[in-house]
Copies of this chain bind each other. A is one copy, B any other.
Amino acid sequence: MKALVYHGPGKKSLDNCPKPELKSPTDAIVRVTKTTICGTDLHILKGDVATCDPGRILGHEGVGVIDAVGSAVTTFKVGDHVLISCITSCGKCEFCRKQMFSHCTTGGWILGNKIDGTQADYVRIPYAETSLYPIPANVDEEALVMLSDILPTGFECGVLNGKVQPGSSVAIIGSGPIGLAALLTAQFYSPAQIIMVDLDDNRLEVSTGFGATATVNSRDGTAVEQIMKLTDGRGVDTAIEAVGIPATFELCEKIVAAGGTIANIGVHGTKADLHLESLWDRNMTITTRLVDTASTPMLMKVLASKKLDAKLLITHHFKLEDVINAYEAFEHAATSGALKVIISTQ
C-alpha cells in the first residue's frame, strides 16, 4: 500500500509499505478513505517529537471502513464506516475509566507517533472498540475528519476547560486551525464576546467569518489595551492560548479577568513566566490538557444536527498519491491560505 513515511528530521516520502496486520484480539484494520495533516506532523518532521522514530507512517486523523477485526472485537464488523480518534484508549486503565483517555497507560497519542498512522491506505487501530466511532448515516465524511483531533482539541482544551458560558467574554490567542476550532465550538455556549488575536490580518478576517465578534492584531503591542477596552476594563472570562509560545501565554495572564480562566491548547517547547505577584489574588485558573476525545460522541451529535459547520475548516483537497503537495500547502499556510487539507485515498 501507499503511505507517507517519516525518515528523520526534514525527510519524508510517499512509500510502498506492507499492509498492516492484526496483532491483538482487540485490534482492527481500517481502510482509510480520508485523512488530513496536523501541525503535530510538522513538529515530527522538524525532529521535535522524540517518541517518533524514522520509518514511521505519519497521521492520526481520518475516516475509513473496517477491513478486519480481532477475535475480541464484537461491536464492529468488516464494512462498518468509522471515525478514527487521534487518541487510542484501552477503556480499562485507571485513566480511561475516568474519561482521561489521553493518559491511557498503553494508548494515548500513539498513532503516527509510536505506531504507524493514517496517512496510508490502511492503518491498524489498537483497542478498536474504544478508539473508533461508528459514523451515523447522512453525516459528511470530510466534516467528520475534523472530529479526529482538531475539533475535540479546540473544544476540550479550550472551550470546556475554559468554562465558556452564555454571556461570557472569550479571547482566543492564535487564529490558526486550532484557534478557529476553538472559535467554532465556543459558540456552542453562546458567549457574548469572542475576540480573536493574531499577527495576520488575513487570518483575523477569516475568523470574523467563523463568528468572532471582534479581532485584534497584536503586532503593534497594544493587544492588552485593545482587549481591556473591549471588555470595559475587566478583561476576559476565558483566555484561550492557541499558539504555544511564552509571549502568547503571558498575554493571557494580562487579559484574564478576576475569576477567569486561561485555557492552554498550545504545545509548548519552553517555560513561560507566571506572574504570581499579580495573579495570586485574582481567583483565576490555568488549565492544560492533551485532548482526550471524550467529547467525540457529543460532537458527532452536534454535527448531525447541523449546528456546527466543520467544513469551514477545510480549504484544500488532495489525493494520497499527491500527499507531498498537501504537506507543501499546509506548511506554507501564509501563502496558500491553507487551514485543513483533505487527503483522499481514491
Residues of A within 8 A of B (CB): 24-26, 70-72, 75, 91-100, 102-103, 129-130, 165-168, 187-193, 213, 244, 246, 249, 258-259, 264, 266-277, 279-290, 292, 294, 297-302, 304-305, 307-308
Contact = CB atoms under 8 A, between A and B. Distances in A.
Contacts of A286: 274, 285-287
Contacts of A193: 305
The copy count of this chain in the complex is 4
A interface SS class: loop
B288 A258 contact: no
A129 B274 CA distance: 38
A213 B305 contact: yes
Nearest to A100: B259
20 contacts: A92-B129, A92-B130, A94-B297, A100-B259, A102-B281, A103-B259, A165-B298, A167-B297, A167-B301, A213-B305, A246-B276, A264-B276, A268-B277, A269-B277, A270-B277, A271-B276, A272-B274, A284-B287, A284-B288, A285-B285
A70 B92 CA distance: 15
Contacts of A280: 244, 264, 266-268, 288, 290
A297 B189 contact: no
Given A190-B302, A305-B192, A103 B288 contact: no
Most interface-central of A273, A276, A285, A287 (chain B CB within 10 A): A276
